[in-house]
Amino acid sequence: MVSRFVFARSSCAFLVLPLALCPDLLAQSSATPGASKLAADVVVSAAAEPEPAVSLGAAATVIDAQEIVASRATTVLDLLRTVPGLDVVQSGGPGTVASLFLRGTSSTQTLVLVDGVALNSPYFGGTDLSGLSTANVERVEVVRGPFSALYGSDAIGGVVRIFTRRAADAGVSGHASFALGNAGGKEGLGELGFLEGDLSGTFAFRRTLSSGDQFNEFFSGSSLSGALTARLGEGATAGVVVRRETGRTGIPTDGATPTPQRSTTSDTTAVELPLSFLLSKNLSLSASIRYVRDRPGYADPADPFFTWSTTDARRAGGRVTASGTWGVHRLAVGADYERTLVSNESNFGVALDDASTRTFALFGEDRVALLGERLVVTAGVRWDDASTYGSHSSPRITAAWRVTPALKLRAAAGTAFRAPSTGELYYPYSGNAALRPEKSNGYEAGVERTFARGVVLEATGFWNEIRDLIDYDASATFMDQNIGRARTRGVELALRTPVGARSILRASYTYLDAKDLDAGTFLLRRPRHRASVTYATNFVAGGAFSLTGMWVGARPDRDAVDFRRLVENPSYLRVDAAVTLPPIALSLAPFVRLTNLLGRDYAESSGFPAPGRRFTAGLATAF
C-alpha cells in the first residue's frame, strides 16, 4: 500500500529523480584555507536564529570544517553516513541514486538545503546527494524531527543543511590537491578565498573520475562553487552564493540484466542572494532570493522500449525574516514565496510542459529564556497556502532545561507535512490533481549528560506518526492516492569525548522500529540497528588521521529482479580511514584515503553491489 514510501525502485529511480554535536577540538589543519566562522557549539538550522547547543531543544549533529578536512571525504553523502538516526542507501557505486532515510522517513520527507536553497526536486520529490561535492563546504548540520513550522514542506524527518565556506582570514588563501586511486580513480580540487576590506569571497572547483568493478560502471563529476559577501555599511551585508554540480554515471545492470549502454546525467545549479540589515540594537532584518534548476537525464540506446528521458525542474522564490529581542523573548516573523516549473520529455513524448505550483507562507517563532537561560522554550507556527492543495498550518514547540551545568533535559513536539510533488499531481500516467499533503505528528525527549574530562552522553527517544501517504493505487483507480499510513519510533544514543588535546572519539547507536501500518510490515531498507565509531586526531602539526567504522544491521528490501518478492539484505561492516602527513618539500602534504578498508562485499540496495576496497593517494598544498 505504501510502496513509494517504503521502497525507492532502484531499477527506475533514476528515471523520476530526474556527529552528535562536536566541540571544536581538532586543531586547524595546514590544508584548510581559513577557519570556520561558525562555532561548533552553535546550531543554525534548528531555529529562526542561531541557537547555542546548550539551549537547543531538538537533536542535532554538526560536522564542522576540521572534521571534513580530516575525513578527506569527496562527497557530502559520505559525511552523513555516521549521523545518528540517518540511513544512507546508494544503488551501487559513485554517482548512482542515493536516498536518505532520516528517523525512518522516506527520502522525499527529508529537506536538504545548500545555504538557504532547497534541493528537493519538485518533480517527484527527494534529493539525490550522490554527486554533491564537499568542495567549498564549510559545515553540515542535521537537525532531526518535524521542522515544517520553520521550513514548510518536506521536513517530516528533519533537515540536512550544507553551508558554503566563507573567508575568515585577511588577504588571499588557497588550497589545492590532486590524487589517483584504484578503479580508475582521479580527483583534483582547487579552493581560493580572499578577505579585503569590506569584500570577501571563496571559489572552488572539484573534478572526480572513477570506474567500477562491472562493465559500464563509471562516474565523472564536476563541482563549481563560489560565494561573495560585501559589507554595505554598519550592520548591513549583501552577497551571492552559486553552486553547480554536473555528473554522468554508467548503469551496468538492471537487476540481473546487463545494460552496457545505459547512463544517467545530472546538472544542478543553485543560486542565493542573501541580504541582512541591523535596524537597531535589538532588531534585525534578513532576506534572500533563491533559485535552483535540476536537469537530470537518462539514456539507453540499446533499450527497445525506453530510450531517453530529460527533465527540467526549476524552483524560485524568496524569504524575509525580522527578528528582535525584548526582555526574555526573542521573536522572529517572516514570509516565504516559491514557484516551481517542471517539464519532462522522453521518447514517448512530452509528459509535462512547464507544470507550475505556487506557495506563499507566513511564519513566526518566540524563544523564551527563563531562569537565567537555564530553561529555554521555543514555540513556532507556519501557515502555507498553495495553488495545489490549499492551506496548511504547522505548529512546533521545544524545551531545553539545564538542570545542572552537567545535565540537560529536552523535549520537542510538532507537526510536519510534505506537499504532493508536481509529478504526483500531473504526471499523465499516474498523477492525481486532488492529492492532499502527507502529514505527521512527531515527538521526542532527550537527555544530555556531561561527565569528567569532557565526555558527553546523549540519549533521545522519538515517535513519528505519518498519514495520508501518497502511493500508487494499482488495484482500483490506477492513480496516486492518499492511502498510506506509517509509524517510526526509536532511540538514538551518541557519545563524544576528547582524547588528549588533539583528538576526539565519537560513537553512536540507533534503534529503529519503522512500520507500514496498512500492511503491518517493517518499512523497506530501514535497518532496525545501526552503529558507528569515529576517531580523529591531529597527531602532529599539519598532520591528521581519521578512522571510522560503520555497522548496519539487516533490513528488508525488494528483490532486484522480481520486485514483488521481499528479501532480507544482510548486515554489513564498513571501515574507512584517511591520513594526511605534515607538509614536505614545497609545502606539499601527502594524504591517503581508504574506503571499505576491509574489502567487504555488501549492498546498501539489494542487487546493487557497493564498491569494494578503494584507495586514493595524493598531494595537497595550502597557501
Beta bridge partners of 269: 244, 293
Domains of the chain: 3-265+278-299+321-622 (2.40.170.20)
pTM above 0.75, yes or no: yes
Whole-number average pLDDT of the chain: 90
The model's pLDDT over 265-308, given as tens digits with 9 standing for 90+, comes to: 999 999 999 999 999 989 999 999 999 999 999 999 999 999 99
Do the Cβ atoms of 266 and 275 come closer than 8 Å?
Answer: no
Question: 499 φ, ψ to 5°?
Answer: -120, 95
Q: What is the DSSP string of 270-324?
A: EEEEEEEEEEETTEEEEEEEEEEEE--EEE-TT-SS--EEEEEEEEEEEEEEEEE
Cα dist. 325→177, 285, 321, 368 in Å?
45, 13, 14, 10
Question: 66 φ, ψ to 5°?
Answer: -65, -40
What confidence tier does 555 reach under pLDDT thresholds 50, 70, 90? Answer: very high
Question: 563 φ, ψ to 5°?
Answer: -65, -20
What distance lies between CA 582 and its chain's CA centroid?
32
Tell me which DSSP letter residue 422 carries.
H
- Average pLDDT of the segment spanning 393-415: 97
C-alpha cell at 15: 528515471
Dist CA 248 CA 209 (whole Å): 10
Q: What is the DSSP string of 468-518?
A: EEEEE-TTTT-SEEEEEEEEEEEEEEEEEEEETTTEEEEEEEEEEEEEETT
What confidence tier does 15 reach under pLDDT thresholds 50, 70, 90? Answer: very low
Beta bridge partners of 595: 614
The model's pLDDT over 366-391, given as tens digits with 9 standing for 90+, comes to: 999 999 999 999 999 999 999 999 99
Pick the more confident residue, 46 or 19. 46
Asked if residue 18 has pLDDT above 60, the reply is no
What confidence tier does 20 reach under pLDDT thresholds 50, 70, 90? Answer: very low
Predicted confidence at residue 166, as pLDDT, reads 87
The model's pLDDT over 209-222, given as tens digits with 9 standing for 90+, comes to: 999 888 999 999 99
Do the Cβ atoms of 27 and 502 come closer than 8 Å?
Answer: yes
The model's pLDDT over 228-261, given as tens digits with 9 standing for 90+, comes to: 999 998 889 999 999 999 999 999 998 788 999 9
Q: Identify the weakest region by mean pLDDT among 22-26, 39-43, 327-331.
A: 22-26
Do the Cβ atoms of 345 and 316 come closer than 8 Å?
Answer: no
Predicted confidence at residue 40, as pLDDT, reads 63
Measured on CA atoms in the order 122, 128, 133, 139, is the torsion positive or negative?
positive
Dist CA 614 CA 88 (whole Å): 19
Q: Residues near 566 by Cβ (< 8 Å), separated by ≥ 6?
A: 524, 556, 557, 558, 559
